[in-house]
Structure 1
C-alpha cells in the first residue's frame, strides 16, 4: 500500500468508501506524521484520539452499509480560532490559554457531521493578526520549505493560517481549516505551495470562530489541490441562523461543477496590480498564468481597479477598529487569563490581564483601532476608510461588466525568513497588498500553486471572482492547476 499521507481529501474519501483501506489506517498514518513533526510547531494541541474516534465511526458506518459523508474518513487540522467542544481553543493567545469551550463552532460541527476527524488545533498568528505566524504566544510556525541554495534559514509559512499551511504542505494533514480577514488563507497557501480559497463573505458561518474583524473574517479550506478545496468548502458552507451575516442561499455542488475549460470566459488583468519594483519571479509567474488561462480558452482583458492603492490603508483602519471592539471582551472576568495583583481593583485587573495576555502586535492593533474610533478622529479616519471600502467594492462591480474573473499574484514575494520583517510592521503589512482588496469587497478568491521561484520556493496565483461565484473561481484555479508544473513537495528535514 502506498503511503496514505500522500493522499488528498478526494483520494482518502473515495478509498475508504471503496474499501481500499480503512479510515483508522488513514488516521493512524497522519497521527504518526503529526507526532514526528514537532520541529515545525504547526500544532498547539494534538488530538490523535479524536481522529481515531471519528475514523472508527466511519469504518462502522461503512460496515453497516451507511453513507459516509462528504468528508468520510478524512482527518483534518483545525485552526485554533474555531471553538471545539472539550478541546482547548486559544486563538494562539496567552489570554485564552486554558479556555475549553463547551460548544462547537458551526464550521467544525459541519465538518464532523460530514465524517471528518480532528488531528489537532493548528497554530496561527495571535488572534489571526499577522502575515508570518510569528505573533503566536506558542511560538513561531516554521515552513517545511527551505531555499534551494540559500542555507538553512527558517522560513515563514505565511499568516495568519501558518499552522494550517505548514501542516498541509508537510503532509501532516490532507486539509485544514483557515480563516481569511485580509489574506490569511491565500498568502500562506502561496508561501507553502498549496491551495486555499476564501469564499464570498457570509458563505461560511462565523459562529464559534474567535473574532478579529467581523465584517471581514471568513472561514475557508486549505488543501492539496482545487478539487479537495471544493469538497471541503461544500462541507463547511451553508446558512446558519446563529450568524446574522450568514448567506441564506443553497450550497452548490462545487466538486461536481469543476471544469478547467474556460471557453467563453473573460479574465481581467488589473493594471494597478503591476507595481513598480515588482519581484521579477512573481511577475514572470503572472505572465505564465495569463498564458495558461488563454490556453484554457479564456479571453484576456485589461481592466482598471483605480482605488487599489487605497485598499491597504483602509484595511488597516477598519480591521483594527473592529478588533478594538471585539477584543474588549477579554477582561479577565468570564474566561481565560486573570491577573489580579495584590490589592488590585477592577480596573487594575483589566489592565494587568490585558498587559500580560495580549502580544505586542495585538496591542498595536487595539491601540490603532481605539484611536481611529475615538471622538475627534472617527470621521477623519474610520468614516473615510469605510467610504474608500465602498469605492473599492464599486471598482470590482464595474470590472465585472468586462470580465468574469480576475487574475493577479497572491503575494508580492515568495516566503521570507523568520525575523526578516518582524521589526517593521509596515513591511509586514505589505504582504497583504494583493489580497486585501477582495477581502474589503467580500469577494471569493483562491490561491493556487504556480511553480517555484529561482530560490526553489513556491509562488501562488490568485483568482478573484464575482460574489457567490465560487464555481467560477474554482474552475479558473483548476485551469491553472492542470497547466502548471505538478506541485512539488518540500524536502523533508524536520
Structure 2
C-alpha cells in the first residue's frame, strides 16, 4: 500500500472505508511527519493529543457504521488537516502570526473549522502564516517564516519561501505533513503559495465560505479556501467548508453543490478566455509564457475553445488593492489595543494612551505597521475621496471587465498564477514594492470577488513548481474545478518536493 502520508484525501477516504487503515494510524503518520520536519516551521501550534482523540472518535463512528447499515459519516471523516492560524479554534491558541495575539486562546470555533469537524476531519495543528495575512512570503510571521520543501536544482543549501500568507499551509501539504489545509486569500494568499509549493489552491467566490471566526485583514476581500494536492481533494474540502452562515452578514445564502461529483465531467465545449493584459509591457519570463501557452494547448486538446479577451483595468488592479486592503486593515486592527484580549504592555503610571502605544508598538511587526499607516492615510480627512473612494470606483470597473468577458460567452479564464517561481528567504522581504508585485496576477480576481484556482503544471529549469490560474463566474466553482481537473490530468504533474526525493 502507498505510504500513508503520500495518500490524497480521496485515496485516504477509500482506504479508511475499505478497512486498509484507520484514522488513528493515518493521524499518527502525519504527526510523526510534522515532528520529523520541524525545520520547515510549517506548524506553529501542534495539537497531537486532540488529533488522536478526534481520530479515535472517527474510528468509533466507522465501526458503528459497519455494525449499523446506512449510518452516515462526514465527507472528511478521519482525514488529518492543518488549519491556518487565522481560524479561531476553541481552546487552541490562535495567533494570526502576530505577537499581539500570541497569548490568545479563543472561547469559540470559526464556522469553517466547525464545518470541517462536523465532517469528521482531524486537526493536526495550526499552520504558520504571514502576520495578519499581510505578506507574500511567510517571512512577516512573528514566529519565524515557514520554509518551502522545494529547493533549486543543484542548490539545496539555499532555502526558499513557501509564499504567503498561507505559506505554512502550503508547505505542510506539499511536504506531506497534512492531507490538506485551510488557507485564506485576500489578494492571492492561497493561490500564490500553492503555485510556489506545487499544490492545488482554491479561492472560492467571496461569500461562499463564512468569515465568522476568521481573524480579519480586509473584510471585503478575505475568503477561506482549501489547499490540497489534487483538484478532486479541493472539491471535497470545499464541499465541507462552504455553506451559508447567518452569523456572517457577507455569507451568501446559496446552495452548496456536490463539487466532487462533477469534477470529472470534462470541459468539452467550454470557452476559455486568455486576457491580453496579463502579458505586461516588459513581457513575461520565457518559462512562464511557454507554460501558459502549453496550458492553452492542453485545454484545447481537452475540448475547450480558446479565445482572446480584454480586461482593460488589470493594469491598475495592484494599486487599487494596495489602497483598499490597507484601509480596511487599519480599521480592523484598531481593536488590538491591549484592553480586551491578546498582548498588553503597560508600566506603572502609564496612561491609557501610553498602553495603546506600547502594546501596538511591541505587538505589531513592520509590515503590519506599514499597512496600517498606509490605510489610515488613505482614510484620513482630505484624502478619503482622492484615494479610498477612487479605488472603490476602479474596483467596480475591474469587476465590470470580468462580467463583460463572461457575458460574451467565456466560461473560465486562464492566466499564470505568479510572475516567478519561489525565491530565496530574505531576498525580497526588505523591498515591499517588489514583494507586492508577487500578487499581480491574483489581485484582480480578489477585487472582483471571483473564484480562482491554481493548479501545478510544470517545473522551471531550476526544478521549481509553477502553476496556472483558472478564474470563473461568481459561485461557479463547479466549472472552475472541472477545468482545473482537465488541466491537472493533461499536465500530469507528479514531481515531489526536494525534501521528499528518494
TM-score (norm 2): 0.97
Match of 1:50?
Answer: 50
Q: Give runs of aligned pairs for residues 229-378 of structure 1, distance below 5 A.
A: 229-259=234-264, 261-275=266-280, 276-378=282-384
- Pairwise CA distance, 1:260: 5.5
Partners of 1:50 and 1:232 in 2: CA distance: 20
SS at match of 1:492: helix
1:418 aligns to 2:417 (yes or no): no
Partners of 1:284 and 1:307 in 2: CA distance: 24
- Pairwise CA distance, 1:15: 1.3
Match of 1:124?
Answer: 129
Match of 1:139?
Answer: 144
SS at match of 2:272: strand
- Render the CA deviation track for 1:11-42: whole Å, top value 9, x for unaligned: 11121122111111100100100111110000
Moved more, 15-24 or 378-387: 15-24
Partners of 1:434 and 1:486 in 2: CA distance: 22
SS at match of 2:470: strand
Q: Give runs of aligned pairs for residues 401-440 of structure 1, distance below 5 A.
A: 401-440=408-447
Choose the corresponding residue for 2:473, options 453, 466, 474: 466
SS at match of 2:141: coil
1:102 aligns to 2:107 (yes or no): yes
Partners of 1:474 and 1:72 in 2: CA distance: 22
Match of 1:23?
Answer: 23
Partners of 1:491 and 1:90 in 2: CA distance: 30
Partners of 1:3 and 1:493 in 2: CA distance: 12
SS at match of 1:176: strand
Do the aligned residues in 2 keep the contact of 1:260 with 1:296 (CA within 8 Å)? no
* Uncovered stretches (5+) of structure 2, i.e. residues with no partner: 66-70
Do the aligned residues in 1 keep the contact of 2:175 with 2:500 (CA within 8 Å)? no
Do the aligned residues in 2 keep the contact of 1:267 with 1:407 (CA within 8 Å)? yes
- Render the CA deviation track for 1:102-158: whole Å, top value 9, x for unaligned: 100000000001000100000000000000000000001110000012342110100
Q: Give runs of aligned pairs for residues 221-232 of structure 1, distance below 5 A.
A: 221-232=226-237
Partners of 1:193 and 1:388 in 2: CA distance: 33
Choose the corresponding residue for 1:442, options 440, 444, 449: 449
Do the aligned residues in 2 keep the contact of 1:303 with 1:402 (CA within 8 Å)? no
Partners of 1:410 and 1:493 in 2: CA distance: 24
Partners of 1:445 and 1:290 in 2: CA distance: 17
Match of 1:152?
Answer: 157
Partners of 1:328 and 1:13 in 2: CA distance: 43
Match of 2:74?
Answer: 69
Match of 2:68?
Answer: none
Do the aligned residues in 2 keep the contact of 1:260 with 1:482 (CA within 8 Å)? no
- Pairwise CA distance, 1:280: 1.4
- Pairwise CA distance, 1:444: 0.4
SS at match of 2:225: strand
SS at match of 1:307: helix
Do the aligned residues in 2 keep the contact of 1:193 with 1:487 (CA within 8 Å)? no
1:36 aligns to 2:36 (yes or no): yes
* Uncovered stretches (5+) of structure 1, i.e. residues with no partner: none
- Render the CA deviation track for 1:272-322: whole Å, top value 9, x for unaligned: 001123121111110110000001100000000000000000000000000
- Pairwise CA distance, 1:180: 0.2
SS at match of 1:256: helix
Q: Give runs of aligned pairs for residues 189-228 of structure 1, distance below 5 A.
A: 189-228=194-233
Do the aligned residues in 2 keep the contact of 1:260 with 1:478 (CA within 8 Å)? no
Match of 1:387?
Answer: 393
Instruction: Provide runs of 4+ in structure 1 moved above 4 Å.
Output: none
SS at match of 1:338: coil
Choose the corresponding residue for 1:178, options 183, 205, 228: 183
CA RMSD of aligned residues (A): 1.0
SS at match of 1:82: coil
